[in-house]
Structure 1
Amino acid sequence: MDVRVLSRGPTDPFLSARDLFETEYDLSLPVDVRVRTDPDERTYTGHYADHHVLNISASAASSAMARELALHEYAHMHRYEQSHPSHHQSMEEALYLALAGRSVEQRKLTHCYQIANHMKDIYADDITLDVGPADKLVAFLESSLATALAERPAEAPQAWRRLTPAADPDITAVNAAFALALVERHGLVAPDHRLYDLAAAAGSDAPGVSVEQFKSRFASLADDPDESEYRKALVDVTRAYAVDSSGPAGGTAAD
């Protein structure tokens, strides 16, 4: 597995993540690591015909989570090379199948992409947690959810003006469901873990979104779905969020 750090910055997290990943898995294509100055990018992966690119912010590359973030991105690359449906299914197709002819708020459409990413992350982290320790991941999920809840304003929900998906109570509730699904899928925490209290608070802030329902959808994703099975799962969860949790029709048409 060939990992090339092409930017100035630390190299050890990416190489140590490679060594850990190689205990069970491998990549056919080389990986170019690029450390970016934008602190909001954190990490994202690009796939090309002859290589992968791991883009990571300078702050993330020098953080205590750097190795775990790199390991997670290598897992995404592996799923992509496997042609796993979660990493090749078109979200635009799923939106069309789920929402054609319906009127959906733009923010809900944006959130649907984040939900699709959660489904990708479930499959990537099935690999990540097969080779790496879980303690930092659990702490990260807990911290991220606590931060999102702390950012909610004091006004009544109908008066809230959300500027970013991360601050929206509906997607925060789905994020909580994802966190619970991931830890339950791998048996990472006890039933009295703080994540459950945080998820309950997130659910209270978004009464139209069932944390339990979305947790079940994420946690029960089949280990090795075919294209049709995965497409149906993505369409169903998209419709459940954008339509079933939306209340009266309104907003921007989904076409």
Structure 2
Amino acid sequence: MSRRRPTITGQFHARSIELLESPAYRVLSVSGHRILDRVSIELAHHGGKDNGKLPVTYTQFEEYGIHDKGIAPALRECCALGLLVMTEQGRASAGEFRRPSLFRIPWLHSHKGEKPTNEWMRIETMAHAEFIARAARKAGEKPKKRQPVVGAYAPTWRANGTAHVMAGATAKNKKPGVVFSQFEGWKPPLENKKPRVETTRTAQGVESTRTSISRGGDSTALTAVSS
């Protein structure tokens, strides 16, 4: 008696294990996963065709369970991580001038017969993926107003919006799209090593030893003795 293979009745969307184990897919937020799922559903509604010109409106994303203020950050996150490609920017307008954005799923063939591009495979580490996802979600945020920090003599100012500048400052043109190429030159941040200061007390005075670390690993010790 031959064993029957498990089958799925109805339409389905397959994703490879390599994709599911990739850093880009693992760091994706819940809203980002819903973005991918809704675009995959739209592909099924088109009979598995038209990958590259799949129209999904903001209303359809909202009806699928994404908060209206979380749609744009989730779209930027998916595009920056290489899990989704926005082939055409939509326009919010009235009447006949309104049009939705068009999308392409990068791990599938396009409607023109082009091979999958798989931009998500370029991200090799979790640190790189987390940096991209965090910067992409904050790219459209408006910089906060500077708040005074009162010091001992005069107030100083603290500047905000570092992630906004680092991600390309797309808040000026108000475009939700973030392309993967903005983050291809990413490098892991270097750790800032501060010199360690050791202080010992003696009968004659205070002896302080400061050690500074250079690039080559050499150290220089400075000793000051006060009587």
Q: Give TM-score, length-normalised by structure 1.
A: 0.27
* Higher RCO, 1 vs 2 (CA within 8 Å, ≥6 residues apart): 1
Return the index of the structure with the highest Cα Rg: 2
Q: Give TM-score, length-normalised by structure 2.
A: 0.30
Higher helix content, 1 or 2 = 1
